[in-house]
Amino acid sequence: MRLTSILPILAILASSARADLPPVPSPEQILSTLRPGHPRLVALPEDMTRVKQLLENDETARKLRDQLRATAEKMLNDKPVVHQLIGPRLLQQSRLCLDRVYVLATLYRLEGDERFAKRAEKEMLAAAAFPDWNPKHFLDTAEMSHALAIGYDWLYDFLSPQSRATIRQAIIEKGLKPGEEFYRKNGWWVKATHNWNQVCNGGMAIGALAIADEAPELAGYILSRSATSIRLPTARLAPDGGWDEGPGYWDYAMRYTACYLAAMRSALGTDFGLSTMPGMAETGLFRIHFAGPTWFTFNYADAGQHAGSTPQMYYFARLFDRPVYAYHQRSHQGRAGGLDLIWYDPRGTVQDLNRLPLDVRFKNIDVAFLRSSWTDDAIFVGFKGGDNRANHSHLDLGTFVLDAAGQRWASDLGPDDYNLPGYFGAQRWTYYRLRTEGQNTLVINGDNQDTKAKAPIVAFASSPQRAFAVADLSKAYAKHAAKVWRGVALLDRKVVVIQDEIESEQPLEVEWVMHTRAEARINGPQVALEWNDKHLYMRATEAAGGTWSVQPVRIDPPQRQAPDFKRLVLRFKTAPPRTRVVVEFRTAEAGGPTGGPLPITPLGDWKPPAKD
């Protein structure tokens, strides 16, 4: 066995020792506690009883039920899924099938309306008739296995023996057997430490649990292997629950983690210690902190801007007794899916949210968040160091987003089309949204950051008067500069400061870049931003002789265009050996363009306030 094959196993063993995890049973033993009969996955009969009781007294639960019912009624007339690939992916159809099965089967179990069960059956039989579930892109296979497993389990008593046999055979032949091949070959996603691991293992485990009594040997093998493999990405949540793939893939990975946990616990009575691993109980806090008051996320990596709905927050609220997770999800509930109602938790209040810290650093991923309050018009800054080698990363070390006065002023453009040539290969760093020039950070000599660089957060503190984080970006720019540090501070919960310090032997051409939708008016070192009748004022307190400009965002087709955005640039030349640039942001309430400049302190002296 090659060293690269041994390393993931060693990592699992190390994380197991740290978390004091129980050993994963052998394939022959793992089904010893299998719950007999159906349903046994995710939502047991007593869970449905709990939901029915909530529907009698909880208005929010009833609204979720009504949304589901309207969605299910529409689904009755929709055509079933088809075997249609977009690029290399069947994923759109797999997710469509999964969403439909959850919605239709949930309504049937709650209300007994056979129209919904029949439509779910039709959907599953259509998917079962596919020639395959596209195992070359195994996410597609995993999600389709998940869909048919839930339908098979939840609708077991409704389905005819023939339909059961057809669906069961499809789960085995088109889902589990291709998965078994990956496990036996120790395939790449089995060793992965990112979202592919949770999704593929989750889909395989749920599929195996659904048919475990009919195919125990196959199911036992898959469950044992998946329970070992899924510890790899979970170990990366330590110590505080951050996720380096960004908010979008946090949602995807943690949604499948929640489904995996729920299915294992309902069907086997245990998750073999997965839920006790460091960072697991805290990861819902990452969700809360990465969503700004505009309900836009700090959408670094291949993440979209909108926070969306995350039903796993309800599940984590119950599993870890964290009512604030449920409150946060209820406060921003989007389109309801089946799990939103099944996992719904009415607990938690705004007081629980207000007790959370305003500023936080997630140590495992070197990302920090600062905010003035938990209200809708608060100042919010997301700031990252991080690792350019993280899965789905952009070359964005030092990037930031900024909300104030109910608007997003500094935006991340998000991902581009995954079907662009070489998007996950050799051409990745040629695309604007992924290049350094497409981020809110420094561009030195027109070059990308080092694709292998890491940027640790080297200082962080939080007090009412001064909250800050400092990232060492030196490795990102080592080709050009000896040292590059960026600090972001929130002063008196009113003023945001971004301070950059660069050391180099030669003069460097530098662009300080921020992408914004706002209209910008430049007046010397000052910039007045206006958006939706709101205002934010910027000032280069120290500009190194640089000048501001507003540029269109020029992106070559076939990349996605960004016509609503502008590129606000402070261009300057460094003066060796050291150059410092300081930019302040103020709302009108914080003095706007008339507020005096604040004292400037070298980043090396940014330290927590002395304790009394």
- Give the lowest-confidence range in 16-30, 59-73, 157-171: 16-30
291 and 387: one domain? Answer: no
- Report whether pLDDT(373) > 50: yes
Mean pLDDT within 184-188 = 96
- The answer to whether 305 touches 299, Cβ cutoff 8 Å, is yes
What is the per-residue pLDDT across 382-410, written as a single tens digit (0 to 9) for each? 999 999 999 999 999 999 999 999 999 99
212 and 230: one domain? Answer: yes
421 and 524: one domain? Answer: yes
340 and 367: one domain? Answer: no
- What is the structure's pLDDT at 308? 84
* Structural domain contains residue 129: yes
What is the per-residue pLDDT across 561-577, written as a single tens digit (0 to 9) for each? 999 999 999 999 999 99
* Structural domain contains residue 441: yes
- Report whether pLDDT(506) > 70: yes
What is the per-residue pLDDT across 480-502, written as a single tens digit (0 to 9) for each? 999 999 999 999 999 999 999 99
Number of neighbouring beta carbons within 10 Å of residue 143: 25
- Give the lowest-confidence range in 364-368, 546-550, 595-599: 595-599
* Structural domain contains residue 36: no
Give the CATH number, domain containing residue 119: 1.50.10.100
Nearest to 547 by CA among 575, 570, 526: 570
Mean pLDDT within 206-219 = 98
pTM: 0.94
- What is the structure's pLDDT at 272? 97
Last residue in a domain, options 354, 371, 393: 354
Last residue in a domain, options 335, 354, 373: 354
Average pLDDT, the chain: 94
Total count of domains within the chain: 2
240 and 91: one domain? Answer: yes
* Structural domain contains residue 79: yes
d(CA 447, CA 490): 30
* Structural domain contains residue 4: no
* Structural domain contains residue 21: no
424 and 276: one domain? Answer: no
CB under 8 Å to 277, separation ≥6 — which residues?
15, 19, 21, 231, 234, 235, 237, 238
65 and 88: one domain? Answer: yes
* Structural domain contains residue 379: yes
Give the dihedral of Cα atoms 90, 311, 390, 606; nearest 10 deg.
Answer: 160
* Structural domain contains residue 197: yes
196 and 138: one domain? Answer: yes
Give the CATH number, domain containing residue 427: 2.70.98.70
Mean pLDDT within 99-106 = 98
- Identify the three-state secondary structure at position 118: helix
- Report whether pLDDT(19) > 70: no
Give the gyration radius of the chain's Cα atoms.
26
- The answer to whether 447 touches 351, Cβ cutoff 8 Å, is no
Last residue in a domain, options 321, 354, 387: 354
- Report whether pLDDT(15) > 70: no
421 and 550: one domain? Answer: yes
Domain range for 380: 360-593
What is the per-residue pLDDT across 328-351, written as a single tens digit (0 to 9) for each? 999 988 888 999 999 999 999 999
448 and 402: one domain? Answer: yes
164 and 296: one domain? Answer: yes
297 and 283: one domain? Answer: yes
